[in-house]
Chain A
Amino acid sequence: MTGFLLRRLALALFVLVTISVITFVLSHVAVDPALGVAGDSATDEDIAAIRAQYGFDRPYLVQYAAYIGNVLSGDFGRSYLSGEPVIGLVAERVPATALLAFLSIVFALALSVPLGVLAALHPNSLLDRLALSLAVFGQAIPNFWAGLLLILVFGLNLGWLPISGSSSLAHFVLPSITLGTFAMPALMRLVRAGMIEVLDADYIRTARAMGLKERTVLWKYALRNAVLPVVSLTAVQFGFMLGGSIVVESIFAIQGIGYLAWQSMSRADMPVIQAIVLLVSMAYIVLTLAADLLNAALDPRLRRAS
C-alpha cells in the first residue's frame, strides 16, 4: 500500500508542477505582464518602470520560482482590471460554482443510477433501449444549446423558472439540468455495464439460490459492487464540471468561477485566468487522487496491479 501511495502522490505532484509551468507560461511568457499591470494609457517609461518594479525583467526561471513561492503562500497576483487580489475574486465565486456542480451531479446520478439499474435488469428490453437512446442524445446535445432551449421553454414561454442570476436556489434548476445532462450518459452506461457484469457473478447467483429477497440481492449486494467504478467517474465528472461550467454559467449569468473566467478572458485579465486554470486543475487532481486512494482502499487488487 505504501508503494502505491508514494507512486500515486509522486504522479500528482508531477502533474501539479507541469500545470503550474503551463499557467506560468500563459500569464508571464505568452503575454507581457508589464503591459497588463500598466493598463492601456501607460507610456513606455511607465511600462519599463513597472517591469523593473515587479521583476518582470528577470530570467524566466527566477520569475517562475517567485511565482511558485507566491502561489504556495496563496498569492495569485492582482487583477489587471480591478487591482484586487485574484484569490479573493476567485474565492467569492467558488460557492456558486460548487453548488452548481454539486446539483448537476445529483441530477445526473438521480437519473443515471435508477435507469442504469433498470436497464441492466432487462437487457435489450424497450426500457433498456430507451435508456441507451437517452444516453446517446445526452452525449450529442450541445449543452449551451440545451440551456438556451430550457430558457426559451421554461423561462420565457412558461415563465416557471428564473433564467438569469444565482440569487436563489430556483436559479440553479435550469443550469443544473443543463450541466447534469452532460454528465449523465457516461455515468448511466457505467452503471448499466457494471450491473450487468455483477448480476452475472457467482455470489449473486448464490445469494439468489439462498432465497434472499430480490430487492436485497439487488440493492445490498449487486449495486454496492457495481457502484465502485461509478465513484471514480463521479469524481472525474465533478472535476470536468468545474471547468465545463463556464458555458452554462455564462448563459445563465451565474456568478461563479466560470463566469468570472469568461469575463476575464474577454478583457485579457491574465492573472485571474491563470489562477482559475490552476485552481480547477488542482481540484481535479485532488478529486481523482482521492477517488484512486478510496478505490485502492476498497479493492486490494488495484493496489497490486499498478
Chain B
Amino acid sequence: MTVFPESDRVHQRHWGFLIGAGLLGVAAIVAIFAPFITPHDPFQQDLALRLKPPFWHEGAEPGYLLGTDQLGRDYLSRLIYGTRISLVLGLGAVLISGLIGITLGIVAGYFGGWIDTAISALITTRLSLPVVLVALAIVAIVGGSLTVVLLVIGLLLWDQFAVVARTATMSLRNAEYIAAARAMGTSRLHILVREVLPNIRAPLIVVATVEMANAILIEAALSFLGLGVQAPLPSWGLMLSEGKNFMFFSPWLITLPGVCLFTLTLAINLMGDGLRDVQARDR
C-alpha cells in the first residue's frame, strides 16, 4: 500500500503537485539536517551584531547570510530551525486530528442511525467553536509550549476529517465487497479498518494536506499573539512577533519568516490541489 496512490500519474501531468512536493521535500531535508546546515547556533546572542541586514543590503556582516535579529542571533539559522517547528507541529497535529476525525467519521458513516446523529451533532458543535479563540483560551490557562500548542490544535482540527470520512463511508456502506465481508462474518473492526479505510484514503489525504497547512498557520498565529510556542524557540510566528517592533528599519525581520511560512503552506496546498485534481479526473 503506497501512501500516495496517485503519485505515479500525478508527477507526469501536474506541475502544481510537482512544485509543491519538491518544496515540501526541501523543507523536510532542511528540518531533518538542521544541526548540520546551520552556520551558527540559533540561540547564540551577540549584542554587538544586533540587526545586521541580509547580504543584499549595505552593511551586511560576512558570515551572516540573512542578517541577525534584535538580539544578534543569526537569522538564517533561526529560520532553518523554524522549519523543524512548523513541520513537527503540522505533522503531529494532523496525526492527532486525523485519528480522531477519521474514527468518528467512519463510525458515523458505517453505522448510521442514532450514532450518526450523535456524531454529526458533535461535528456541528466543533464547527461552531471559533478555533483560534478556543486554542488561545486553553493556552492562556495551561501555558504555552510546543507540546501544548500541538495537542490543542490536534484536538480542534478534526472536523473536516470527520465530515469527509463520514460522507465517503456512507457512499460505500452498501458496496458488494463490504456486504461480502459482512456475510463472511468478518468483525466490524476488521471491516472498518481493512475494507472501508483503504477505500476512502484518497479524499482523506487531501484533507490532511489542507489541515496540515491550517495547523501550521494557526501555530504561527498563536505564537505571533504571544500565546503559543515561547521564546527563545525560533517559531516563525514568534519571529514575526519579535520582529514587528523593528520592521520599519529592519523589514527583513518580518519579510523572511513570512516568506518561509507562506512557501511552506503554499507547497502543502499545491500538493493537496494536485491530488484533488487527479482524483476529480479519475472519477
Interface residues of A (CB under 8 A from B): 11, 14-15, 18-19, 22, 26, 30-31, 136-137, 139-145, 148-149, 151-152, 156, 239-240, 242-244, 246-247, 250, 261-262, 265-266, 268, 270, 273-274, 276-277, 280-281, 284-285, 288
What's the least CB distance linking B228 to chain A, in Å? 11
Among the listed A11, A148, A247, A273, which residue makes an inter-chain contact with B225, where contact means beta carbons less than 8 Å apart? A247
Among the listed A11, A244, A265, which residue makes an inter-chain contact with B130, where contact means beta carbons less than 8 Å apart? A244
Interface locus among B42-50, B120-128, B159-167, B194-202: B120-128
Cβ B133 vs Cβ A148 within 8 A? no
Cβ B132 vs Cβ A244 within 8 A? yes
Judge if B273 is at the interface, Cβ distance under 8 Å: yes
Also in contact, A140 and B213, with CB within 8 A (given A19-B125, A156-B248, A243-B131)? yes
Closest to B267 in A: A140
- Residues facing A in B226-266 (CB within 8 A) are 226-227, 237, 240, 244, 247-248, 251, 254-255, 257-258, 261-262, 265-266
Chain B interface size, as a band, is: 35 or more
Cβ B258 vs Cβ A149 within 8 A? yes
Q: Which residues of A contact B254 (CB under 8 A)?
A: 145, 148-149, 152
What's the least CB distance linking B265 to chain A, in Å? 4
Cβ B140 vs Cβ A284 within 8 A? no
Q: Which residues of B contact A239 (CB under 8 A)?
A: 128, 130
Judge if B170 is at the interface, Cβ distance under 8 Å: no
Judge if B136 is at the interface, Cβ distance under 8 Å: yes
Give bound CA distance, A144 to B240, whole Å: 9
Cβ A30 vs Cβ B121 within 8 A? no
Q: Which residues of A contact B24 (CB under 8 A)?
A: none
Cβ B227 vs Cβ A11 within 8 A? no
Cβ A144 vs Cβ B266 within 8 A? no
What's the least CB distance linking A223 to chain B, in Å? 24
Cβ A277 vs Cβ B129 within 8 A? yes
- Besides the contacts A142-B265, A145-B262, A243-B131, what 5 more A-B pairs have beta carbons closer than 8 Å? A142-B217, A145-B261, A149-B254, A244-B132, A247-B132
Instruction: List 24 A–B pairs whose Cβ atoms lie within 8 Å, in order of A's numbering.
Output: A15-B121, A15-B124, A26-B138, A30-B138, A139-B213, A140-B213, A140-B262, A140-B266, A142-B217, A143-B221, A144-B220, A152-B254, A239-B130, A243-B131, A246-B132, A265-B137, A265-B227, A273-B140, A274-B137, A276-B133, A277-B134, A280-B133, A281-B130, A288-B128
What's the least CB distance linking A178 to chain B, in Å? 12
Cβ A246 vs Cβ B133 within 8 A? yes
Cβ A152 vs Cβ B247 within 8 A? yes
Cβ B136 vs Cβ A246 within 8 A? yes
What's the least CB distance linking B18 to chain A, in Å? 14
What's the least CB distance linking A129 to chain B, in Å? 11
Q: Which residues of B contact A284 (CB under 8 A)?
A: 127-128, 130
Judge if B75 is at the interface, Cβ distance under 8 Å: no
Closest to A144 in B: B224
Cβ A261 vs Cβ B136 within 8 A? yes
Closest to A269 in B: B140
Digitize B84-124: 1 where CB-to-A-CB distance is under 8 Å, 0 elsewhere.
00000000000000000000000000000000000001001
Give bound CA distance, A22 to B130, whole Å: 12
Cβ A148 vs Cβ B137 within 8 A? no
Q: Which residues of A contact B248 (CB under 8 A)?
A: 152, 156
Q: Which residues of A contact B16 (CB under 8 A)?
A: 136
Cβ A15 vs Cβ B125 within 8 A? yes
Q: Is the interface of B mostly helix, strand, loop or mixed?
A: helix
Cβ A145 vs Cβ B258 within 8 A? yes
Closest to B266 in A: A140
Cβ A149 vs Cβ B255 within 8 A? yes
Cβ B121 vs Cβ A11 within 8 A? yes
Among the listed A18, A145, A242, A265, which residue makes an inter-chain contact with B125, where contact means beta carbons less than 8 Å apart? A18
Among the listed A139, A151, A266, which residue makes an inter-chain contact with B269, where contact means beta carbons less than 8 Å apart? A139
Also in contact, A136 and B258, with CB within 8 A (given A15-B128, A266-B227)? no
What's the least CB distance linking B65 to chain A, in Å? 21
Q: Which residues of B contact A15 (CB under 8 A)?
A: 121, 124-125, 128
What's the least CB distance linking B185 to chain A, in Å? 34
Cβ A240 vs Cβ B130 within 8 A? yes
Judge if B175 is at the interface, Cβ distance under 8 Å: no
Closest to B142 in A: A30
Q: Which residues of B contact A156 (CB under 8 A)?
A: 247-248
Q: Which residues of A contact B3 (CB under 8 A)?
A: none
Q: Which residues of A contact B217 (CB under 8 A)?
A: 142
Cβ A22 vs Cβ B121 within 8 A? no
Q: Which residues of B contact A144 (CB under 8 A)?
A: 220-221, 224, 237, 240
What's the least CB distance linking B283 to chain A, in Å? 14
Give bound CA distance, A239 to B268, whole Å: 26
Give bound CA distance, A71 to B74, whole Å: 51
Give bound CA distance, A142 to B215, whole Å: 11
What's the least CB distance linking B137 to chain A, in Å? 5
Give bound CA distance, A170 to B140, whole Å: 33
What's the least CB distance linking A46 to chain B, in Å? 22
Judge if B141 is at the interface, Cβ distance under 8 Å: yes
Give bound CA distance, A261 to B220, whole Å: 18
Among the listed B127, B137, B221, which residue makes an inter-chain contact with A142, where contact means beta carbons less than 8 Å apart? B221
Q: Which residues of A contact B152 (CB under 8 A)?
A: none
Which of the listed residues A240, A265, A284 has the most CB atoms from chain B within 10 Å of its own CB?
A: A265
